[in-house]
Chains A and B, each alone.
Chain A
């Protein structure tokens, strides 16, 4: 009893198991449940063998009672097995908070990137600037050319920033 309580307290303090640990515990619990299910199967086969022995003739009342008692035992074993399957399942999900949180964060980051991809308009603007430059060049006038070059430079900077690898978090 004392040991049990100690275990409970440790369990409350301990961090959730890693997914690999949880999976391994779950497998052990599942194996035990498989054994119980197999026992239930064996009981059922045994009962059916006895019934078939009568080849369609009436089964005597005492044998019927025994068969029903065994059927109840089989049923109870199946519920015990299902309890363990449930515990294995609960054990698996108890370890998944971290991976789930991480994946959700990834989708949030991606949503941010998607917003920036829509700024591909920058690329279009760049081309428009280039056109402005071309038009200016074809007129041979200096002021529009300089203005167009300035516009192009700004736009190239914007594209370069957006294409650059993300800055480290500390400087953000």
Chain B
């Protein structure tokens, strides 16, 4: 019997056995990875949490004794929960980093090993394998690695996103709500700091007050610039968190269609926007 003739059958059998997974197409979760990476790296929240924690340090010199008593208590309370604020972010970042690893094909790039295999095949060519067969095996190798990898990765990403979405949304909603509270607290701090100058500068009309008034005006200018810049950061951070939340929601809605052009484009857009926001925050 000519066993050479059986060979295509083995290949066919193996293809059939493994081919079932091939309907998902080649591994291409690059956009999921980009989105997860950009989400994990989004800045703003951490820095604004610290700023919130340190409110008292900045406002203390401007406070009346009565306000200072309350402010001191507020300071203690803010410091007591600061770790909780940070741990929310850490959890979301950890989740996004893991999602990025799961969706990243670079890490499981097997092309080097496939090339090794190809070289092995070439060496084998003399021992009876024909060129046509080598090509078939190399093709099969690529198919196998892609099929297996895509099956694993798709399922892992799917499971992670499906099981994680509800909690990710809760945590992002919390981060958004907290950032808004930080912003409102900052607003009261700003009005406390600048408010004194609004009132006291017009009262200081004596010639001997001149130097003091000049210094006060310079200080006021610096402070109001500082607060204007900070106000922008709350806005950027909120925009970013909202985008992460929306992007993850889209991911969840399109779990069965992660390879669709529209979904991929959408996720790529979110990733780009998030990177832009991150750049704006690091200015």
B-binding residues in A (CB < 8 A): 19, 23, 26, 30, 33-34, 37, 40-41, 44, 47-48, 51, 54, 56, 58-59, 64, 67-68, 71-72, 74-76, 78-83, 85-90, 92-93, 96, 99-100, 102-104, 106-107, 109-111, 113-114, 116-118, 120-124, 126-128, 130-131, 133-140, 145, 152, 156, 159-160, 162-163
Q: Does A130 lie within 8 Å of B91, measured CB to CB?
A: no
Residues in A whose Cβ lies below 8 Å from that of B87: 100
Q: Does A79 lie within 8 Å of B102, measured CB to CB?
A: no
Q: Does B91 lie within 8 Å of A124, measured CB to CB?
A: no
Residues in A whose Cβ lies below 8 Å from that of B2: 140
Q: Which residue of A lies closest to B69 (CB)?
A: A79
1/0 contact string of B78-106 vs chain A (CB within 8 Å): 10110011011001101101110110000
Q: Does A107 lie within 8 Å of B148, measured CB to CB?
A: no
B61 CB-CB contact with A under 8 Å: no
Q: Does B67 lie within 8 Å of A72, measured CB to CB?
A: yes
B119 CB-CB contact with A under 8 Å: no
Instruction: Please tell me which one of the listed residues B94, B117, B188, B199 contacts residue A107 in the complex, with CB atoms under 8 A apart.
Output: B94
Q: Does B64 lie within 8 Å of A85, measured CB to CB?
A: no
Q: Which residue of A lies closest to B18 (CB)?
A: A159
Query: A134 CA to B135 CA in the complex, in Å?
Result: 13
Instruction: Please tell me which one of the listed residues A58, A106, A131, A137 contacts residue B160 in the complex, with CB atoms under 8 A apart.
Output: A106
1/0 contact string of B122-142 vs chain A (CB within 8 Å): 001001110001000100110
Task: Say which size band chain B's interface belongs to.
Answer: 35 or more
Instruction: Please tell me which one of the listed residues A19, A48, A123 contacts residue B145 in the complex, with CB atoms under 8 A apart.
Output: A123
Query: A74 CA to B196 CA in the complex, in Å?
Result: 10
Q: Which of B136-185 contact A (CB under 8 A)?
A: 137, 140-141, 144-145, 148-149, 151-153, 156, 159-160, 163-164, 166-168, 170-171, 173-174, 177-178, 180-181, 184-185
1/0 contact string of B1-22 vs chain A (CB within 8 Å): 0111011001100100110010
Query: A135 CA to B63 CA in the complex, in Å?
Result: 86
Q: Does A123 lie within 8 Å of B144, measured CB to CB?
A: yes
Query: A97 CA to B163 CA in the complex, in Å?
Result: 17
Q: Does A124 lie within 8 Å of B110, measured CB to CB?
A: yes
Q: Does B152 lie within 8 Å of A117, measured CB to CB?
A: yes
